[in-house]
């Protein structure tokens, strides 16, 4: 409805402007003198001719009275034509003054056509200017409306799709039913929620697998170690070479089984290498927008960063920031402070909440896979965010440091500057 109203209003305004232009174009530019007023002036001058110096003009017309020799006998003001040549050039009205049957002088009435035409042009210009300004205001308002209802929601959907593609499912998509994407945002966020549930289930399955592998490795290694020990005793007590070879073969197979079980135990940590990280140069001023995207609850004051080039994978760095803020929202639920420092090689960005931090002995394990602090209080989570973030930062030749700050947990992201070996 708003779009239809805008089109109708703009079309109507354009038609009115075209009509005004046509009226102005076809309107005559000739402005004739008022014949009655001119005749009244002529009659009054003729009546007062004998004493023309005392003539009193009662007309709004401006005029000059001259005698046959061209001498000015009377004028109503300044700036008037005072000769027949000037009157002809200015296209003034020239009348003969007759007293009796004699032509005693000339009456020159000023032609104000130029002034009237200039005033009409000024009025027309003012009207057209006002119409153009009004159209510009209407168009600007509609552009703002389109930006709010189409462009900005589409950008949100685009950023949301990038995050989902990057594996971040913790950032919700804000719903706004006032724009054309309102229904889509709700559907997309439902999809994100379902994907997050699936990922948590997958993470739980992986954790269960890890626990199962650890139990099986322990259960298998214990009897294998007993077999190897018995074989070593038999090897020491064997009396023939054949017996020693048999015991040696048993010891070798026990070592082989032990190695296979160890490989099985560490295999669950190998899938992280499948996540590709490609670092390129990026303007540091883009970091503020990335942090603002991550801070979707607007709990942090994001500072302006010094102008420089950093070497990062933009998608992976956004995922790192998203994980840091998501953890702060879930486990601290407080205001967040963001600060930075820069040296010759690195730009360090620190994000600190006010949740009191975690126990010192728990800090080293927060970057391990499936590890979480004791302050999680049964809050939903898989324990993978900081582990993956640490991996990404190392792949970008940076670092991720976790420590207790003055008010809460502080996570410092170290970003490499471009062109620095």
Domain termination residue (choose one: 80, 96, 111): 111
| Pair 303, 369 in one domain | yes
CA distance 156 to 292: 12
For 139-162, the pLDDT digits (tens) are 888 788 777 777 777 777 777 777
Residue whose C-alpha is closest to residue 196's, from 385, 387, 392: 385
pLDDT for 1 equals 47
Domain termination residue (choose one: 89, 111, 133): 111
| Pair 253, 354 in one domain | no
Whether 390 is covered by a domain: the verdict is yes
How much is the average pLDDT of 262-287?
A: 72
pLDDT for 403 equals 92
For 47-74, the pLDDT digits (tens) are 888 888 788 877 788 888 888 888 888 8
Residue 164 has pLDDT above 60, yes or no: yes
| Pair 86, 211 in one domain | no
Q: Residue 178: what are its φ and ψ, rounded to 5°?
A: -85, -5
Residue whose C-alpha is closest to residue 94's, from 29, 26, 38: 38
Domain termination residue (choose one: 111, 132, 150): 111
| Pair 259, 350 in one domain | no
Comparing 177 with 343, which gets the higher pLDDT?
343
Looking at the 3D structure of the chain, how many domains does it have? 3
CA distance 168 to 162: 9
What is the residue-averaged pLDDT of the chain?
79
Most confident of 139-143, 375-379, 382-386: 139-143
Whether 151 is covered by a domain: the verdict is no
| Pair 262, 309 in one domain | no
Whether 321 is covered by a domain: the verdict is yes
Whether 209 is covered by a domain: the verdict is yes
Range of the domain at 293: 280-416
Q: Among 90-99, 193-202, 301-310, 389-398, which stretch is predicted with the lowest mean pLDDT?
A: 193-202
| Apex 307 CA angle, 303 and 312, nearest 5 | 90
| Pair 223, 331 in one domain | no
Whether 302 is covered by a domain: the verdict is yes
Whether 368 is covered by a domain: the verdict is yes
| Pair 206, 326 in one domain | no
Comparing 224 with 396, which gets the higher pLDDT?
396
Comparing 266 with 59, which gets the higher pLDDT?
59
**By percentage, how much of the chain surpasses pLDDT 90?**
17
The CATH number assigned to the domain holding 336 equals 3.30.565.10
Residue 386 has pLDDT above 90, yes or no: no
User: What is the reported pTM?
Assistant: 0.43
How much is the average pLDDT of 168-193?
A: 66
| Pair 319, 392 in one domain | yes
| Pair 291, 388 in one domain | yes
| Percent composition of the chain: helix, strand, coil (DSSP 3-state, to 5) | 55, 15, 30
Rg (CA), the chain: 47
Whether 4 is covered by a domain: the verdict is no
pLDDT class of 174 with cuts at 50, 70, 90 = low
HSE (side-chain half, CA atoms, 13 Å) at 122? 6
pLDDT class of 306 with cuts at 50, 70, 90 = very high
| Pair 305, 380 in one domain | yes
| Pair 348, 380 in one domain | yes
Residue 202 has pLDDT above 70, yes or no: yes
Whether 82 is covered by a domain: the verdict is yes
How much is the average pLDDT of 294-301?
A: 87
Q: Where does 48-112 have alpha helices with state H? A: 84-89
CA distance 417 to 320: 17
Q: Among 4-18, 20-34, 74-88, 276-290, which stretch is predicted with the lowest mean pLDDT?
A: 20-34
| Pair 305, 383 in one domain | yes
Asked if residue 386 lies in contact with residue 401, where contact means CB atoms within 8 angstroms, the answer is: no
Q: What is the separation of C-alpha 333 from the centre of its chain, rounded to a whole number of angstroms?
A: 27
């Amino acid at each position: 409805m708003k779009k239809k109203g805008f089109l109708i209003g703009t079309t109507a305004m354009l038609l009115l402007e075209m009509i005004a232009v046509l009226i102005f174009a076809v309107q005559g530019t000739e402005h004739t003198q008022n014949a009655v007023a001119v005749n009244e002036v002529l009659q009054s001058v003729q009546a007062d001719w004998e004493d023309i110096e005392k003539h009193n003009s009662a007309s709004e017309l401006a005029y000059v009275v001259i005698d046959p020799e061209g001498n000015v006998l009377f004028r109503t003001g300044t700036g008037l034509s005072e000769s027949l040549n000037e009157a002809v050039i200015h296209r003034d009205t020239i009348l003969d003054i007759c007293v009796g049957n004699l032509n005693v002088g000339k009456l020159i009435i000023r032609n104000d056509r130029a002034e009237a035409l200039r005033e009409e042009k000024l009025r027309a210009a003012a009207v057209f200017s006002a119409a153009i300004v009004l159209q510009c205001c209407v168009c600007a308002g509609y552009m703002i409306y389109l930006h709010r209802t189409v462009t900005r929601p589409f950008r949100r959907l685009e950023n949301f799709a990038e995050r989902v593609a990057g594996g971040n499912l913790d950032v919700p998509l804000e719903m706004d039913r006032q724009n054309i994407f309102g229904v889509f945002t709700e559907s997309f966020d439902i999809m994100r929620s379902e994907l997050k549930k699936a990922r948590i289930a997958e993470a739980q399955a992986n954790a269960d697998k890890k626990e199962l592998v650890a139990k099986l490795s322990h259960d298998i290694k214990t009897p294998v170690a007993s077999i190897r020990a018995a074989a070593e005793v038999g090897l020491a007590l064997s009396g023939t070479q054949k017996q020693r070879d048999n015991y040696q073969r048993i010891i070798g197979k026990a070592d082989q089984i032990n190695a296979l079980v160890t490989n099985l135990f560490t295999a669950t940590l190998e899938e992280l290498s499948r996540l590709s990280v490609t670092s390129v140069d990026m303007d540091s001023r883009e970091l503020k927008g990335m942090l603002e995207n991550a801070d979707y609850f607007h709990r942090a004051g994001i500072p302006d960063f010094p102008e420089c080039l950093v070497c990062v994978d933009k998608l992976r760095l956004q995922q790192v920031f998203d994980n840091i803020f998501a953890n702060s929202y879930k486990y601290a639920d407080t205001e967040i402070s963001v600060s930075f420092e820069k040296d010759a090689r690195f730009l360090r960005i620190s994000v600190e909440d006010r949740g009191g931090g975690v126990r010192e002995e728990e800090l080293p394990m927060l970057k391990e896979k499936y590890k979480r602090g004791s302050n999680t209080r049964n809050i939903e989570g898989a324990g993978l965010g900081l582990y993956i973030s640490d991996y990404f930062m190392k792949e970008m030749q940076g670092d991720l440091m976790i420590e207790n700050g003055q008010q809460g947990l502080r996570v410092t992201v170290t970003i490499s500057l471009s062109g620095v070996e």
